[in-house]
Amino acid sequence: VRFGADGPIVEAARGATILDAARAAGFFIDSLCGGDGHCGKCRVVVREGNVSGGAAAPLTPEEIAQGFALACLARIEDDALIDIPERSLLREPAPHSGDLRVSRGAGFADEGAVAELDPLVRRLSLRVATPTLENNAADFDRLETAARAALPPNAAIRADLDVLRALPAALRLSDGAVSVTVAWSEGSYRILEIAPAEAVASNLAVALDVGTTTLAAHLVDLTTGATLAAALRYNGQAAYGADVIRRIIWCDSENGGLERLQGITAADVNAMIEDMCEKAGHPREEITAIAAAGNTTMIHLLLGVTPRWIRREPYTGAMRQPPPVRASGVGLAIHPAGLLYCLPSVSGFVGADITAGVMACGLDVGGAVRMLVDIGTNGEIVIGNKDWMVAASASAGPAFEGAGNRDGMRATAGAIDHVGGLAADGALRFTAIGGAPPVGFCGTAYVDLLAELLRAAVMDKAGKFNAAAGSDRLRENSDGTPEFVVVRAGESGAERDLAITRDDVANLMRAKAAIYAAIKVLLRSVGLRFDDIEEVLVAGAFGAFLDMPNAVSIGLLPDLPAARLRFAGNTSLQGAKMAALSVGHYNRARRIADKMTYFELSTDPNFMDEFAAACFFPHTHIEEFPSVRSGRGASGVLSRQDNVKCKMRNEKPRMRAHKA
Amino acid sequence: VRFGADGPIVEAARGATILDAARAAGFFIDSLCGGDGHCGKCRVVVREGNVSGGAAAPLTPEEIAQGFALACLARIEDDALIDIPERSLLREPAPHSGDLRVSRGAGFADEGAVAELDPLVRRLSLRVATPTLENNAADFDRLETAARAALPPNAAIRADLDVLRALPAALRLSDGAVSVTVAWSEGSYRILEIAPAEAVASNLAVALDVGTTTLAAHLVDLTTGATLAAALRYNGQAAYGADVIRRIIWCDSENGGLERLQGITAADVNAMIEDMCEKAGHPREEITAIAAAGNTTMIHLLLGVTPRWIRREPYTGAMRQPPPVRASGVGLAIHPAGLLYCLPSVSGFVGADITAGVMACGLDVGGAVRMLVDIGTNGEIVIGNKDWMVAASASAGPAFEGAGNRDGMRATAGAIDHVGGLAADGALRFTAIGGAPPVGFCGTAYVDLLAELLRAAVMDKAGKFNAAAGSDRLRENSDGTPEFVVVRAGESGAERDLAITRDDVANLMRAKAAIYAAIKVLLRSVGLRFDDIEEVLVAGAFGAFLDMPNAVSIGLLPDLPAARLRFAGNTSLQGAKMAALSVGHYNRARRIADKMTYFELSTDPNFMDEFAAACFFPHTHIEEFPSVRSGRGASGVLSRQDNVKCKMRNEKPRMRAHKA
Quick one: pLDDT at residue B92? 58
Cα separation, B239 vs B223, in Å, equals 38
Q: Which candidate from A159, A313, A320 shows the least CB-CB separation from B133? A: A313
Rounded mean pLDDT, B155-180: 95
Strands (DSSP E) found in A214-277: 214-221, 227-234
Quick one: pLDDT at residue A564? 94
A189-203, A385-399, B638-652: least confident range? B638-652
Cα separation, A198 vs B155, in Å, equals 42
DSSP string computed for B508-531: HHHHHHHHHHHHHHHHHHTT--GG
- Cβ contacts of A99-102, under 8 Å, gap ≥ 24: A99/A230, A99/A569, A99/A570, A99/A645, A99/A646, A99/A648, A100/A230, A100/A232, A100/A648, A101/A227, A101/A230, A101/A648, A102/A226, A102/A227, A102/A228, A102/A229, A102/A230
Which of A318-322, A428-432, A435-439, A627-631: highest mean pLDDT?
A318-322
Quick one: pLDDT at residue B645? 26
Quick one: pLDDT at residue B654? 28
Q: Which residue of chain A has the CA closest to B315?
A: A136
A133–B603 C-beta distance less than 8 A: yes
Chain A interface test: which of B319, B590, B598, B604 (most A C-beta within 10 Å) = B319
- B348 CB neighbours in chain A (<8 A) are 136, 138
Higher pLDDT, A404 or B44: B44
Higher pLDDT, B549 or A400: B549
Q: Which candidate from A139, A304, A314 shows the least CB-CB separation from B136? A: A314
B106-125 pLDDT, tens digit per residue, is 333 344 567 889 999 999 99
Instruction: Give yes or no for residue A649 having a pLDDT over 80.
Output: no
B209-224 pLDDT, tens digit per residue, is 999 888 999 999 999 9
Quick one: pLDDT at residue A542? 65
Confidence label for B152 from pLDDT (cuts 50, 70 and 90): very high
Decide: helix, strand or coil at residue A403.
Answer: coil
Quick one: pLDDT at residue A477? 86
Cα separation, A426 vs B379, in Å, equals 101
Instruction: Give yes or no for residue B565 having a pLDDT over 70.
Output: yes
A188–B314 C-beta distance less than 8 A: no
Q: How far is C-alpha B325 from the chain's CA centre? A: 22
Instruction: Give yes or no for residue B294 having a pLDDT over 90.
Output: yes
Q: Which candidate from B141, B186, B347 shows the least CB-CB separation from A320? A: B141
A305–B168 C-beta distance less than 8 A: yes
B381 min Cα distance to partner chain A (Å): 18
A3-7, B486-490, B643-647: least confident range? B643-647
A131–B303 C-beta distance less than 8 A: no
Higher pLDDT, A191 or B15: A191
Q: CA distances (Å), B150 to each of A471, B144, B422, in order?
A: 72, 10, 64
B132 min Cα distance to partner chain A (Å): 6
Instruction: Give yes or no for residue A648 having a pLDDT over 70.
Output: no
Q: Which residue of chain B has the CA closest to A163?
A: B305
Quick one: pLDDT at residue B195? 92
A188–B188 C-beta distance less than 8 A: no
- Residue B271: which H helix or E strand, with range? helix B257-280
A131 min Cα distance to partner chain B (Å): 6
Higher pLDDT, B409 or B181: B181
Strand partners, A425: none
Q: Which candidate from A164, A314, A600 shows the least CB-CB separation from B318? A: A164
Cα separation, A312 vs A316, in Å, equals 8
Confidence label for A424 from pLDDT (cuts 50, 70 and 90): confident
Instruction: Give yes or no for residue B383 having a pLDDT over 90.
Output: yes
Rounded mean pLDDT, B408-414: 79
A167–B136 C-beta distance less than 8 A: no
| Cβ atoms of residues A504 and A408 within 8 Å | yes
A300-342 pLDDT, tens digit per residue, is 999 999 999 999 999 999 999 999 999 999 999 999 999 999 9
Q: CA distances (Å), B180 to each of B121, B124, B166, B506, in order?
A: 10, 5, 12, 59
Cα separation, B454 vs B628, in Å, equals 11
Cα separation, B264 vs B258, in Å, equals 10
Decide: helix, strand or coil at residue B283.
Answer: coil
B306–A168 C-beta distance less than 8 A: yes
Quick one: pLDDT at residue B476? 92
- B604 CB neighbours in chain A (<8 A) are none
A136–B315 C-beta distance less than 8 A: yes
Confidence label for B632 from pLDDT (cuts 50, 70 and 90): low
Instruction: Give yes or no for residue A145 having a pLDDT over 50.
Output: yes
B227-274 pLDDT, tens digit per residue, is 999 998 888 898 888 789 989 999 998 889 999 999 999 999 999 999
B435-450 pLDDT, tens digit per residue, is 778 989 988 899 999 9
Mean pLDDT of chain A: 86
% of chain B residues with pLDDT over 90 = 58
Quick one: pLDDT at residue B542? 66
Q: CA distances (Å), B318 to each of A172, A173, B326, B329, in order?
A: 11, 14, 19, 18
B505-559 pLDDT, tens digit per residue, is 999 999 999 999 999 999 999 999 999 999 999 987 665 578 899 999 999 999 9
Higher pLDDT, A9 or B91: A9
Mean pLDDT of chain B: 86
Sheet hosting strand A157-158, strand order edge to edge:
A121-127, A177-185, A188-196, A157-158
Rounded mean pLDDT, B489-502: 89
B68-88 pLDDT, tens digit per residue, is 888 888 888 888 888 888 777
DSSP string computed for A623-642: GG-HHHHHTGGGG-TTPPPT
- B131 CB neighbours in chain A (<8 A) are 309, 314, 316
Rounded mean pLDDT, B485-491: 91
A61-112 pLDDT, tens digit per residue, is 888 888 888 888 888 888 888 888 877 776 655 544 334 343 333 333 344 5
- B188 CB neighbours in chain A (<8 A) are 186
Confidence label for A458 from pLDDT (cuts 50, 70 and 90): very high
Cα separation, A648 vs A95, in Å, equals 7
- A165 CB neighbours in chain B (<8 A) are 303-306, 318
Which positions ≥6 away from A338 have C-beta within 8 Å? A121, A192, A287, A288, A289, A290, A326, A327, A328, A332
Burial of B444 (0-12, 13-18, 19+ CB in 10 A): buried
- A136 CB neighbours in chain B (<8 A) are 314-316, 347-348, 600
Instruction: Give yes or no for residue A54 having a pLDDT over 80.
Output: yes
Peptide bond into B618 cis (omega under 30): yes
A80 min Cα distance to partner chain B (Å): 40
Instruction: Give yes or no for residue B282 having a pLDDT over 50.
Output: yes
Instruction: Give yes or no for residue A435 having a pLDDT over 80.
Output: no
Rounded mean pLDDT, B86-91: 72
A259-285 pLDDT, tens digit per residue, is 999 999 999 999 999 999 999 999 999
A306 min Cα distance to partner chain B (Å): 7
- A319 CB neighbours in chain B (<8 A) are 138-141, 159, 164, 167
Candidates B89, B91, B90, B109; CA nearest to B99 is B109
Quick one: pLDDT at residue B200? 66
Q: Which candidate from A132, A168, A329 shows the least CB-CB separation from B309? A: A168
Which of A224-228, A654-658, B410-414, B537-541: highest mean pLDDT?
A224-228
Query: Structure pTM?
Result: 0.86
Chain B interface test: which of A134, A140, A143, A326 (most B C-beta within 10 Å) = A140
Quick one: pLDDT at residue A412? 75
B29 min Cα distance to partner chain A (Å): 30
Chain B interface test: which of A145, A157, A161 (most B C-beta within 10 Å) = A161
Give the torsion through C-alpha atoms of A302, A308, A312, A317, to 10 deg: -50
- B165 CB neighbours in chain A (<8 A) are 303-306, 318
User: Which residue type, as a one-letter code, is found at position A464?
Assistant: K
Q: CA distances (Å), A350 to each of A248, A264, A382, A600, B254, in order?
A: 16, 23, 9, 10, 58
Rounded mean pLDDT, A382-386: 97
A157-187 pLDDT, tens digit per residue, is 999 999 999 999 999 998 999 999 999 999 9
Rounded mean pLDDT, B275-288: 96
Cα separation, A336 vs A195, in Å, equals 14
Instruction: Give yes or no for residue B659 having a pLDDT over 80.
Output: no
B286 min Cα distance to partner chain A (Å): 24
Q: Which candidate from A136, A138, A306 shows the least CB-CB separation from B318? A: A138
% of chain A residues with pLDDT over 90 = 58
B600–A306 C-beta distance less than 8 A: no
Q: Which residue of chain B has the CA closest to A313?
A: B133
Quick one: pLDDT at residue B368? 96
Rounded mean pLDDT, B413-435: 83
Burial of A224 (0-12, 13-18, 19+ CB in 10 A): middle
Confidence label for B640 from pLDDT (cuts 50, 70 and 90): very low
Burial of B98 (0-12, 13-18, 19+ CB in 10 A): buried
A347–B131 C-beta distance less than 8 A: no
Q: How far is C-alpha A102 from the chain's CA centre? A: 20
Confidence label for B32 from pLDDT (cuts 50, 70 and 90): low
Higher pLDDT, A468 or B342: B342
Cα separation, B178 vs B161, in Å, equals 18
- A–B interface: beta-carbon pairs under 8 A: 139
| Cβ atoms of residues B538 and B567 within 8 Å | yes
Instruction: Give yes or no for residue B278 having a pLDDT over 90.
Output: yes
Quick one: pLDDT at residue A569? 79
Q: Which residue of chain B has the CA closest to A326?
A: B161
Quick one: pLDDT at residue B183? 98
A133–B318 C-beta distance less than 8 A: no
ipTM of model: 0.86
Which of A486-495, A613-622, B55-64: highest mean pLDDT?
A613-622
Which positions ≥6 away from A65 have C-beta within 8 Å? none
A438-453 pLDDT, tens digit per residue, is 989 988 899 999 999 9
A229-243 pLDDT, tens digit per residue, is 989 888 889 888 878
Quick one: pLDDT at residue B162? 96
B302 min Cα distance to partner chain A (Å): 12
Instruction: Supply the DSSP symbol for B540.
Output: H
Chain A interface test: which of B130, B134, B135, B140 (most A C-beta within 10 Å) = B140
Instruction: Give yes or no for residue B481 having a pLDDT over 60.
Output: yes
Instruction: Give yes or no for residue B292 having a pLDDT over 80.
Output: yes
Quick one: pLDDT at residue B374? 92
B601 backbone φψ class: left, alpha, beta (φ>0; ψ -120 to 50): alpha
B196 min Cα distance to partner chain A (Å): 17
Higher pLDDT, A404 or A45: A45
Interstrand relation of B68-70 and B43-52 (parallel, antiparallel or unpaired)? antiparallel
Instruction: Give yes or no for residue A600 having a pLDDT over 60.
Output: yes
Quick one: pLDDT at residue A171? 96
Backbone φ, ψ for residue A571 (5° rounding): -70, -25
